[in-house]
Amino acid sequence: MWILSILPEAAIHTIFGLGILGTIAGFVLGFIPFVKAYKLAIQVISLLVLVLGVYLEGGLADYKEWELRVKEMEAKVAQAEAKSANTNVEIQEKIVTKTKVIREKGRDIIQYIDKEVIKKEEVIKYIENCPVPKEFIDIHNQAAELNKAAEAKK
Amino acid sequence: MKYLLISLLFIAGCSTTVPVTQKFPNATPELMKKCEDLKKIEGDKVAITEMMKVIVHNYSLYWECSAKVDGWQDWYNAQKKIYDSIAK
């Protein structure tokens, strides 16, 4: 209810209170000369004010309930955002560690080839007598660039 | 003036929406890095050991990229779980 954002809470309670007081005055305090003179007008106006007051009070109660729910939701969202950031940190650490291990292992294998494999007699003989055919190299290089073929087709 | 008051009374009950927006979660920086291109074998006369080194290097690149894909899957599952917990 947009009207609740304009109207202060006190005004709503005042309207409701005036409605009640007016209704009591109009229906119960008829013996007072002033009230007696304007009885019908007081009854009609106070009933209208009371209806408006009840309506606004109901709206206010509903508005407050929604406000509470919004606050609950905001708290949940803030909690979720913090949790999400923590998850990101955990995943980041996990990937960094995994990538580091993979790189180190790969480097170890290459070092092993350079330091150990290359010294073996049978390997030396193989290197001397059997260079890798150019076709094999080309096939390997083509396979290494398969992604570029896919990009070119886009 | 009379009509203005009547119409104001009629629209008094119109609701206003209070949006609670959730920010789209940021991706882990490591996941945003692109996978490196595979290495090619350079030269015409290449020893089998040189070829092996390139192959090993490329295997490493594959597993690094695979770790990123696994990371994206973990990220998605974790973020979805968090998102679903808000709706409950």
- Tens of pLDDT, residues A119-154: 999 999 988 888 899 999 999 999 999 988 877 877
CB contact under 8 A, A144 and B38: yes
Position A24 in a domain: yes
A64 vs A66: CA distance, rounded Å: 5
User: What is the sign of the dihedral through the CA atoms of B31, B32, B38 and B42?
Assistant: negative
Higher pLDDT, B75 or A151: B75
Residue B4 lies in a domain: no
Residue at A16 is within a domain: yes
Residue A100 belongs to a domain: yes
Tell me which amino acid residue A105 is: K
Total-model pTM: 0.73
Enclosing domain of residue B76:
62-88
In a domain, A144, yes or no: no
Residue A26 in domain: yes
In-domain check, residue B85:
yes
The 3-state DSSP class for residue A8 equals coil
Residue B24 lies in a domain: no
**What's the token pair of residue A39?**
């009885």
Name the one residue in this structure whose structure tokens are 């913090």: A82
Question: Under an 8 A CB cutoff, do B51 and A131 touch?
Answer: no
Domain-embedded: residue B79: yes
At residue B86 the predicted structure's pLDDT band, cuts being 50, 70 and 90, is confident
Is B87 a member of any domain? Answer: yes
Burial A12-36 (b: 16+ CB within 10 A, else e): beebbebbeebbebbeeeeeeeebe
Question: How many inter-chain contacts (A to B, CB under 8 Å) are there?
Answer: 142
Contact A144 B56 (CB under 8 A): no
Q: Answer yes or no: is B29 within a domain.
A: no
Chain A residue numbers touching B16 (CB-CB < 8 A): 1-2, 5
Task: Select the residue of A1, A87, A106 nearest B56 (Cβ to Cβ).
Answer: A106
Residue B70: closest C-alpha in chain A? A95
Q: How many domains does chain B have?
A: 1
Report the distance separating Cα A32 and Cα A28, nearest Å: 10
Q: Considering only CB atoms, which chain B residues are within 8 Å of A105?
A: 60
Q: What pLDDT is stored for residue B7 in this prediction?
A: 65
In a domain, A143, yes or no: no
| Domain-embedded: residue A137 | no
Contact assignment for B49 to A66 by CB distance below 8 Å: no
In the predicted model, is pLDDT for residue A37 greater than 90?
A: no
Q: Residue B20: inside a domain, yes or no? A: no
3-class DSSP state for residue B23? coil
Residue A8 sits in which domain range? 3-132
DSSP string over A85-122: HHHHHHHHHHHHHHHHHHHHHHHHHHHHHHHTGGGSHH
Could you read off the pLDDT of A2-36 as tens digits, one per residue? Answer: 777 788 889 999 999 999 999 999 999 888 888 88
Residue B83 lies in a domain: yes
- The count of structural domains within chain A is 1
Return the residue in B6, B10, B14, B15 with the most chain A beta carbons within 10 A, the one to mutate for interface testing.
B15
**Separation CA A40–CA A16 (nearest Å):** 19
Cα B72–chain centre separation: 7
Q: What is the pLDDT of residues B14-71, one digit of tens each?
A: 655 656 787 899 899 999 999 999 999 998 888 999 999 999 999 999 999 999 999 9
Q: Look up the ipTM and state it.
A: 0.76
For chain A, helix, strand, coil in percent to 5 are 90, 0, 10
The answer to the question of residue A140 being in a domain is no
A2, A96, A137: residue with CB nearest B14? A2
Position B9 pLDDT exceeds 90: no
Rounded Cα distance, A26 and A18, in Å = 12
Could you report the per-residue pLDDT of A65-99, keeping only the tens digit for each? 988 999 999 999 999 999 999 999 999 999 999 99
Q: What is the pLDDT of residues A39-62, one digit of tens each?
A: 899 999 999 999 999 999 999 999
* DSSP state for residue A31 in the 8-state scheme: T
